[in-house]
Chains A and B, each alone.
Chain A
Amino acid sequence: MLTLSGRVIKRPSSSEPSGPRLYSLSTQACTPLALRGKKAFLIKEAGLVPEGFTHYFHLEGVSATIPEPEKTTHLGKEFSYLGNNDVVSITEDGRIRSIFRADSNHNSILLTEQCDNYCLMCSQPPKKIDDSWLLREAFEAIRLIPRDTKVLGFTGGEPTLYREEFIKLLEHTKNWLPNTSLHVLSNGRSFADENFAYMYSKVDHPDLMVGIPIYSADPARHDYVVQATGAFDETVRGVLNLKRFGQRVEIRVVLHKQTYRGLPELAMFIARNLLFVDQVALMGLENTGFARANIDSLWIDPIEYKDQLSEAVQILTAYGIHTSVYNHPLCLVNSDVYPSYVKSISDWKNEYANECIPCKKINECGGFFSSGIKNGYSHSLKPFV
């Protein structure tokens, strides 16, 4: 697992402007002078360090002569994954966060930690604090991200809580990264407001999809999972409004002890009522955040719900709905699920268990969340040998 944020070892000696600062990194010593003013140089290799960059990041253990110590931040070895064109943010109190990694297809920008749902298994537990600086930072980051970026995600918390400001961010992203496929994670409730859904559609982004969770066909159970009365009703009406305005919608279902039993009924509900959604993702539980606190009421070995998973996939695909199964080790699903099976866990938190070492199919397998390896996983793994 990569450390996406942490403390720096040593801040620059000179005082910098207050507030978080964003830098686009360069490892190219031959960067033309005209461009150096816009980039920070990442000292990753020993040798001569070019002058004239706006800032420098020095990785621990790399021997180099540092030209401008007063403009240099020193980083620990855990950040050695950083590379050319990555974007990082530095806060005043000496924290660094990786905002964007150029060599990854799993970049998501966190816009807020606030949320109007309070999901039992939330991997990013909501906080009731004003963190709108994250949104401001996102506006800045969008300008720094390479314009040939293929995919980018916006996540939360609930990004749509910003309302008009969120719409502006989408427009801003369309202006700066018109060729980047954009994926937003939202609980969909804001879109129950037809006017908001309309504003969202008017961004007219060429390649935008919103992923919205529905956990059960039974409103009471969905509301329980997201710990918010009336959430199911708003979410479904949100999906309807989005599709009314021709927007692309993905339905996301996290499978755990509270959702697996009703999975075939949910598949049928989607087939009868929401056939026009663009895709459905059936996802394994990520054992982190609230999921750890609620693990007793959430954990079920995926092997125990493999038949419900098969039935749901069979229903959805029979109705022609594009269906993907995410976050499941290959040996814990029935083979009829394979056509929908996707290796999906973001690269920075994807691992395999010791049991997997002899497995012949490890390259086809999605493996585990790092949190699963750390906090406990299925005892039913059966390596293919």
Chain B
Amino acid sequence: MSKFSTLEKYVSPKGQYELLPFRFEPIAEDNVVATNYVGEFVFLKRKQLNDFVQKNLDASDETYSLLRAKHFLKESSDLASIELLGLKTRTKFSNLRNFTNLHIFVVSLRCDHSCPYCQVSRQSENKAAFDMSIATADKALQIVFRSPNPAIKIEFQGGEPLLNFDLIRHVVIKAKQINEVEKRNLEFVIATTLSLITDDILDFCKEHKIFLSSSLDGPEDLHNRNRPRPGKDSYARFVEGLKKARDKVGYQSVSALMTTTTASLTRARDIIDEYLKHDFDGIFLRHLSPYGFAIKTKTYGAYNVDHWLEFYCEGLDYILDLNKQGVYFTEYFASLLLTKMLTSKDPGFVDLMSPAGAGIAAVVFNYDGDVYASDESRMLLEMGDDTFKLGNLHTNSYEDIFTSEALLSALDDSFTMSAPMCSDCAFEPWCGAEPVFHHAIFGDVLGRKPESEFCKRIMGVIRYLLNKMQTDPEAKEIFMRWANKC
């Protein structure tokens, strides 16, 4: 008789387990994915799911071990699993405690470009009418430092913010002065096409460690078609500006974003190759937001989410191939979702947050002092809807703005853990609330989920990612790297 017991002695008798909260979604004929509240997931066959739910799953079954380790089930003596679920939930929501990080200053609506999909820009020489004033910027800075967040990011947007660079100088210098006392982790970003960049501006960026977030839509013909400007030289100016900025401020200080238009849809590879050509190590394959001009000018708005998904998946397939060939290149939208799927962290991306990021993760100060819950909210105003206007810097206090009914009810009503259909959705832990989008399309912050292009888009991408992880171990390894980048 051995003094050691066999494995069987430590395995519970059949049916001695409790279910922990989980949801599931069919992903293929006989396959479901089950997710728990903190975004861990397990692939199951239908029969395994049935056995699991009916407590017929044998404790010696590998699936049982997996479900227990991933906290889908617990035995009565498992105390650690509840503690760990609590810990992971707190981690997931820990960003909330810090409140607003991103503060967007719309320093001018004027722009040297006239992109047909742009929601807000103006072609105007009238500086006074569409530029932010020093008085307004100073009011905004007072609000910025009321945020309890130890990390503060100030992003200058437009129009073309470089058209009001004197104000940017003012804000940066003043913010740094205030920060001598506040001691926050302070960052600055300018969202610019780089078309008007000068050595002077770059010197200033270098001195104050300002990041440049620029735009590259694809190869020259596509980029210039998407972004018309006098001289039809948007692309050439971008290329020159990019080189200058990297030489002067540093490679890491310049990033690029692309906007997908109908003309882009057939050119996923060309667009990605263009990013490779310019030494970028990743791309954000964005969809076009359905606001302002984008809805009005049908030629540019005329692609639906299915077309975008096709484009996206084609792009992602190509990016995965690149990675398999040893070219480390990241798709940032996937990377954000994968962080939510594969880690216990939340990347804090405004579109994928619940409670929604609008107003509490990011806030927008418009050139005229109006305060909006998000970039999309001010675009909504261009369509005559001021639902997400939280107040005005000249007439409202910090408290007025951040406890405004417009904001709080939107956050409350759209919270995905309680929102109808979201609360049943297996992909909820990875998704976001998006009240502004749903309000824009459906007139209320919840909308009708089966018709929601937002749901369709996020669920489409998630299905693609799940399928890759289930069938392609190499892709899974790549995804794990991306998940830990955010």
Contacts and interface: CB of A to CB of B under 8 A. Distances in A.
- The 6 A-B residue pairs whose C-beta atoms are closest, nearest first, are A217-B69, A218-B65, A236-B80, A223-B10, A224-B10, A224-B7
A273 B484 contact: no
Interface stretch (B81-89, B176-184, B352-360): B81-89
Interface string A231-249: 0110011001000000000
A239 to B, nearest CB: 9
A224 to B, nearest CB: 4
A265 interface: yes
Interface string B57-71: 001000001101110
A339 interface: no
B5 A224 contact: yes
A273 B84 contact: yes
A220 B69 contact: no
B4 A218 contact: no
A63 interface: no
B77 A233 contact: yes
Given A120-B4, A220-B7, A272-B344, A265 B59 contact: no
A233 B79 contact: yes
Contact of A320 (B5, B75, B484): B484
Given A236-B84, A314-B480, 17 more contacts: A118-B4, A219-B75, A220-B59, A224-B5, A224-B7, A227-B5, A230-B77, A240-B80, A265-B65, A272-B40, A272-B88, A272-B343, A273-B84, A273-B87, A315-B480, A318-B477, A318-B483
B77 A237 contact: no
B78 interface: yes
Contacts of B483: 318
B40 to A, nearest CB: 6
Contact of A269 (B12, B69, B78, B79): B69
Given A218-B65, A275-B344, A314 B4 contact: no
B7 A219 contact: no
A314 B474 CA distance: 12
A258 B4 CA distance: 14
Nearest to B69: A217
A237 B10 contact: no
Contacts of B6: 224
Interface string B1-45: 000111101111000000000000000000000000000100000
A132 interface: no
Given A229-B10, A236-B80, A272-B40, A318 B69 contact: no
Interface in A181-218: 217-218
A319 B70 CA distance: 17
A294 interface: yes
Chain A interface residue number, banded: 20 to 34
A221 interface: yes
A271 interface: yes
Interface in A147-197: none
B319 to A, nearest CB: 18
Contact of A220 (B11, B88, B344): B11
B7 to A, nearest CB: 4
Contacts of A233: 77-80
Q: Which residue, A118, A236, A320, has most C-beta atoms of chain B within 10 A? A: A236
Interface residues of B, number: 31
A217 B71 CA distance: 11
Contact of B83 (A224, A240, A315): A240
A371 to B, nearest CB: 19
Interface string B338-355: 000001100000000000
A224 B5 CA distance: 7
B244 interface: no
Nearest to A239: B80
A115 to B, nearest CB: 14
B83 A237 contact: yes
B481 interface: yes
Interface in A258-276: 258, 262, 265, 269, 271-273, 275
B343 A271 contact: yes
B7 A217 contact: no
Q: Label chain A's interface by main secondary structure.
A: helix
Given A219-B78, A224-B5, A319-B343, A273 B88 contact: yes
A265 B69 contact: yes
A272 B42 CA distance: 14
Nearest to B66: A265
Contacts of B10: 220-221, 223-224, 229
Interface of A: 118, 120, 217-221, 223-224, 227, 229-230, 232-233, 236-237, 240, 258, 262, 265, 269, 271-273, 275, 294, 314-315, 318-320
Given A272-B343, A319-B343, A220 B84 contact: no
B43 to A, nearest CB: 13
Contacts of B83: 237, 240
A232 B483 CA distance: 28
Contacts of A315: 480
B67 to A, nearest CB: 10
Interface in B404-459: none
Contacts of B88: 272-273
Nearest to B8: A224
A215 to B, nearest CB: 12
A121 to B, nearest CB: 11
Nearest to A241: B83
A67 to B, nearest CB: 51
Contacts of A236: 80, 84
A221 B59 CA distance: 11
B343 to A, nearest CB: 7
A219 B65 CA distance: 8
13 contacts: A118-B4, A220-B7, A220-B59, A221-B65, A224-B6, A224-B7, A233-B77, A262-B65, A265-B66, A269-B70, A272-B40, A272-B88, A314-B477
A294 B4 contact: yes
A318 B7 contact: no
A153 to B, nearest CB: 27
Contacts of B9: 224
Contacts of A230: 77
Nearest to B480: A318
A38 B79 CA distance: 52
Contact of A240 (B65, B69, B84, B480): B84
Contacts of A262: 65
A227 B84 contact: no
A318 B344 contact: no
A230 B477 CA distance: 33
Contacts of B5: 224, 227
A318 B484 contact: yes
A232 B9 CA distance: 15
A244 to B, nearest CB: 9
A319 B80 contact: no
B72 to A, nearest CB: 13
A364 to B, nearest CB: 25
